Amino acid sequence: MAFDISELFRSGLPTPAAAPFKAFPTYNFVGGHNDAASLPVQALTAAATHVITREGATLATYGLNSGPQGYRPLRDFIASWMKDSAAMADSAEEILITSGSLQALDLVNQLLLGPDDIVIAEQATYGGALTRLSRLGIPYLGVRLDDDGIDMTHLEEMLKRQHQDGKRVKFIYTIPTVQNPTGGVMPLDRRQALLDLANRYDCVIFEDDCYADLLWSGTRPPSIRALDAEAAHSEGRANRVIYCGSFSKSVAPALRIGFIMADWPVLAQLLPLKTDAGTGALDQMVLAEFCKAHFPGHVSRLRATLKDKCDVMIEALEENFGTAAEFTAPLGGIFIWVTLPHDVDTTQLAAAAIKQGVAINPGAEWTVDGQENRNRMRLCFGHPTKEEIRDGVARLAQICHREFGLPERISNTEQI
Amino acid sequence: MAFDISELFRSGLPTPAAAPFKAFPTYNFVGGHNDAASLPVQALTAAATHVITREGATLATYGLNSGPQGYRPLRDFIASWMKDSAAMADSAEEILITSGSLQALDLVNQLLLGPDDIVIAEQATYGGALTRLSRLGIPYLGVRLDDDGIDMTHLEEMLKRQHQDGKRVKFIYTIPTVQNPTGGVMPLDRRQALLDLANRYDCVIFEDDCYADLLWSGTRPPSIRALDAEAAHSEGRANRVIYCGSFSKSVAPALRIGFIMADWPVLAQLLPLKTDAGTGALDQMVLAEFCKAHFPGHVSRLRATLKDKCDVMIEALEENFGTAAEFTAPLGGIFIWVTLPHDVDTTQLAAAAIKQGVAINPGAEWTVDGQENRNRMRLCFGHPTKEEIRDGVARLAQICHREFGLPERISNTEQI
């Protein structure tokens, strides 16, 4: 019998890729892709020229001259930006550059999660975080969520129950600033309440702030890690919060630059788990050079552009779905979390839509309790042009009407 | 009692980092660092300018426009280069770009290794490969090695014994071209013999060729994967070899660009294991742009430079260690594998030497049977200047003399 290498694969692997990549869908309302027209091409080119000319020879060593935590000028920039924007007191030595915030998730999971642990996540949250926990065989619970983030009463009940049952909640995973997918922001008092609960039940808080720079409405509160810093310092204890951020949404996802901010004992233990001998150097160097001169102006322009696209998507939803689509306008970011009537199963809708070139994230993949959220969907407006948003949402409404009879009346655009 | 976050870490973690990075040692004879003067700074700057200007806007999407296997022009270049230099017939669709060959090791281990598996590695081999297997709890055996690579008689005995004992050798890990640490090359007939054994005992061959571009003596044989390709094709079966390569040694380690060449069913299953959403885009883009115009000329110059440094190190070893240091001159690469008299324990030598600014890889960390190889050491000459090589080797001989009384006579340089 002919040799079949797949018989030698270990058991329990995830589903393999179906086929090599061909192209993105025409109406791409999934994924954290950015607005291509906002990509600061000229400034990045200039940054690359300067930094490679000046420091190119350091590429000859692993870790440049900065060691395994990542390019020092980038860590310096992050420390200063996070101080200004989220009241964080961490220095460059408390920062680890990662290959996107996704590697940060993998590293923190590896650091903390053992066989008897449980994680609490927001009921609706980043799908990739849930996939990771499932693959590790870690059970997770979904805490209720409103426009202001975690419902603290529900969280307290959950923690109490787990404690009574002798179960160990290792960490609470939260996206407090521009929550994914709701687009809400957890206000200061809830951040404090979250810390109090974590203190009482001895959990780590894993704060994923990777959309926070895209907040266009209201003021960005201090990060939860910043709020714990002062108490930790005065009590002579470790900060309970491990923080992660990213430049994927604020500059460019393809760069694969994220970061973790944590106390040194955490980073010291993360370093040997990061077995890739460093994150790509040119991405780090060019980004640092760019950010020093241009980051504040760039994100400010980007927020305005995204807010504009968000308005276009809201308009398109109202026009094409009418009252069938319910949502709260996000306070920032690149997505809208839409609730459709109960009869609509968005997993089925997504399957029908992709055949017509429209990609959406079905609610079941973006929530802890997928079954109860089958009538929701996440729509990203960051990457498509305004025209693609208008056309794609109209097309989605038509497909939804065809599949589910909803929305009942659809606007008079091209029938498919 | 004050909160101590390390009490929440999972058990069984590797040793944490001791302290944040300060600086490299003065005489840095460890690690795969490159010759800094050979770094093609100007050409990389020009490549960056061209490619970012032309394609910068594609940074707005994860995976650029190339999908999760990596930047297509880089995969095209690799396919063409590997065809010319190692007779490989793989197309860009059989290539996965990884964050250095280290990520390739992690991915292949994850793909293949389950609880009952065993790996066979060369008796002396890359230390990081052994560390990875230990962490996974996978037992490994060391097969004897001479200047022509694996001793096939010994390999056959091992495979037979494991088979008789009902044990499963999942793969044979080999570095056939510029072996690490011996610097030797496995000739064509042994490559064929290795394939025959792998076929008979149904193992995968994991071919790590990450130093192969630095071969300066003799002709590079076809890769083992290339040798299996024709038979696999005519027998209608999968290729038994998973190949990995790297640009760390040929261009720059800080870029973190390696690659895997394998049949699509292997890549399809590796893709969901690569959870970082892609390797750094600027590193890939700039490298591809550089390679298209400059790679052959660049590696040819680099080989000459490294051969030159190798000669300086050989001269320094002969001058300072005399007959106390035995070694075979490497056929390429960046290191020499040195055998010292039996009384010398290089783990102890390394500890004494680092205090004097000299870093070496002790034999115990670079061999399967560490205890039997405590009198060996790996010395890298890629990064230090010729002067640093001369001074560092002299200093190492003095430290060795002080600690072990060997070499008996040391040259008349500055005493420390």
Q: The tokens of B41 are what? A: 């700074």
Q: From its phi and psi, is residue A376 left (phi > 0), alpha (psi between -120 and 50) or beta?
A: beta
Q: The tokens of B356 are what? A: 């004097």
Same domain, A251 and A105: yes
Cis, peptide link before residue A181, omega less than 30° from 0 = yes
Same domain, B282 and B354: no
Distance CA B322, CA B131 (A): 33
Cis, peptide link before residue B181, omega less than 30° from 0 = yes
pTM: 0.97
Residue pairs spanning A and B at CB distance below 8 A? 322
> Cβ contacts of residue B179 below 8 Å, gap of 6+?
B122, B124, B125, B145, B149, B185, B186
Report DSSP state, residue A35.
-
Q: How many CB atoms lie within 10 A of CB B223?
A: 25
Q: What residues are paired with A118 via a beta bridge?
A: A169
Q: Which chain B residue has its CA at the smallest distance from A16's CA? A: B269
Q: Check CB contact under 8 Å for B8 and A204.
A: yes
> Cβ contacts of residue B78 below 8 Å, gap of 6+?
B92, B95, B245, B259, B261
Report DSSP state, residue B66.
T
Average of pLDDT values for B118-140?
97
CATH number at residue A360: 3.90.1150.10
Distance CA A272, CA A270 (A): 6
Average of pLDDT values for B67-75?
98
Report pLDDT for B412. Answer: 53
Q: The tokens of A66 are what? A: 């900065």
- From the list A93, A232, A275, the residue facing B106 with the nearest CB is A275
Distance CA A175, CA A178 (A): 7
Whether residue A1 is contained in a domain is answered as no
Residue type, A344: V
- The two beta strands, A140-143 and A145-146, are unpaired
Mutate to test the interface with B, among A6, A7, A9 (most CBs of B within 10 A): A9
Q: How many CB atoms lie within 10 A of CB B219?
A: 7
Report pLDDT for B192. Answer: 98
Same domain, B128 and B229: yes
Q: What residues are paired with B95 via a beta bridge?
A: B261
| pLDDT confidence bin for B411, thresholds 50/70/90 | low
Q: Check CB contact under 8 Å for B256 and A239.
A: no
Same domain, B334 and B273: no
Q: Is B169 helix (H, G, I), strand (E, B) or coil?
A: strand
Nearest-neighbour CA in chain A from B407: distance (Å): 31
Residue finishing a domain among B294, B315, B335? B294
Same domain, B246 and B116: yes
- From the list A52, A236, A272, the residue facing B2 with the nearest CB is A236
Q: Check CB contact under 8 Å for B2 and A38.
A: no
Q: Which chain B residue has its CA at the smallest distance from A67's CA? A: B21
Whether residue A416 is contained in a domain is answered as no
Residue type, B48: A
Confidence check: pLDDT of B414 > 70: no
Q: The tokens of B78 are what? A: 């690799």
Q: Check CB contact under 8 Å for A49 and B49.
A: yes
Distance CA A255, CA A32 (A): 13
Q: Which residues on B lie below 8 Å from A59 (Cβ)? A: 34, 39, 44, 252-255
Q: Check CB contact under 8 Å for B44 and A23.
A: no
Whether residue B1 is contained in a domain is answered as no
Report pLDDT for A412. Answer: 53
Nearest-neighbour CA in chain A from B147: distance (Å): 29
Same domain, A169 and A153: yes
Q: Check CB contact under 8 Å for B279 and A256.
A: yes
Are residues B104 and B81 in contact, defined by beta-carbon separation less than 8 angstroms? Answer: no
Mutate to test the interface with A, among B99, B132, B210, B242 (most CBs of A within 10 A): B99
> Cβ contacts of residue A196 below 8 Å, gap of 6+?
none
Report pLDDT for A409. Answer: 76
Residue B392 sits in which domain range? 24-39+297-404
Are residues A274 and A98 in contact, defined by beta-carbon separation less than 8 angstroms? Answer: yes
Same domain, B166 and B237: yes
Residue finishing a domain among A230, A259, A294? A294
Q: The tokens of A408 are what? A: 């009942």
- Tens digit of pLDDT for each residue in B78-93? 999 999 999 999 999 9
Whether residue B127 is contained in a domain is answered as yes
- From the list B20, B61, B271, the residue facing A69 with the nearest CB is B20
Distance CA B100, CA B86 (A): 20
Distance CA B9, CA A267 (A): 12
Nearest-neighbour CA in chain A from B189: distance (Å): 22
First to last CA, chain A: 49
Are residues B94 and B245 in contact, defined by beta-carbon separation less than 8 angstroms? Answer: no
Report DSSP state, residue A21.
-
Residue type, B389: I
Same domain, A161 and A91: yes
Same domain, B149 and B88: yes
Residues in chain A: 416
- Model ipTM value: 0.96
Q: Which chain B residue has its CA at the smallest distance from A262's CA? A: B5
Whether residue A225 is contained in a domain is answered as yes
Whether residue A251 is contained in a domain is answered as yes
Whether residue A306 is contained in a domain is answered as yes
Residue type, B282: L
The DSSP result for B32-46, as a single string, is S---GGG--HHHHHH
Q: Check CB contact under 8 Å for B6 and A114.
A: no
Q: Check CB contact under 8 Å for B62 and A282.
A: no
| pLDDT confidence bin for B409, thresholds 50/70/90 | confident
Residue finishing a domain among A277, A294, A311? A294
Distance CA B157, CA B374 (A): 25
Q: Check CB contact under 8 Å for B280 and A36.
A: no
The vertex-A63 CA angle with B13 and B288, nearest 5°, equals 115
Report pLDDT for A2. Answer: 79
CATH number at residue B140: 3.40.640.10
Nearest-neighbour CA in chain A from B46: distance (Å): 8
Same domain, B110 and B174: yes
Distance CA A122, CA A194 (A): 12
Q: How many CB atoms lie within 10 A of CB A370?
A: 17
Q: Which residues on A lie below 8 Å from B14 (Cβ)? A: 272-273
Per-residue pLDDT of chain A (416 residues; tens, 9 = 90+): 678 999 999 999 999 999 999 999 999 999 999 999 999 999 999 999 999 999 999 999 999 999 999 999 999 999 999 999 999 999 999 999 999 999 999 999 999 999 999 999 999 999 999 999 999 999 999 999 999 999 999 999 999 999 999 999 999 999 999 999 999 999 999 999 999 999 999 999 999 999 999 999 999 999 999 999 988 999 999 999 999 999 999 999 999 999 999 999 999 999 999 999 999 999 999 999 999 999 999 999 999 999 999 999 999 999 999 999 999 999 999 999 999 999 999 999 999 999 999 999 999 999 999 999 999 999 999 999 999 999 999 999 999 999 999 898 765 554 45
Same domain, A262 and A320: no
Same domain, B60 and B94: yes
Cis, peptide link before residue A407, omega less than 30° from 0 = yes
Report DSSP state, residue A403.
H
Whether residue B412 is contained in a domain is answered as no
Nearest-neighbour CA in chain B from A132: distance (Å): 9
Mutate to test the interface with B, among A34, A69, A282, A388 (most CBs of B within 10 A): A282
Distances (CA, A) of B269 to A13, A17, A24, B285: 8, 6, 21, 25
Report DSSP state, residue B109.
H
Q: Check CB contact under 8 Å for A45 and B48.
A: yes
- As for how many domains chain B has, the answer is 2
- Tens digit of pLDDT for each residue in B280-324? 999 999 999 999 999 999 999 999 999 999 999 999 999 999 999
Q: Which chain B residue has its CA at the smallest distance from A103's CA? A: B276
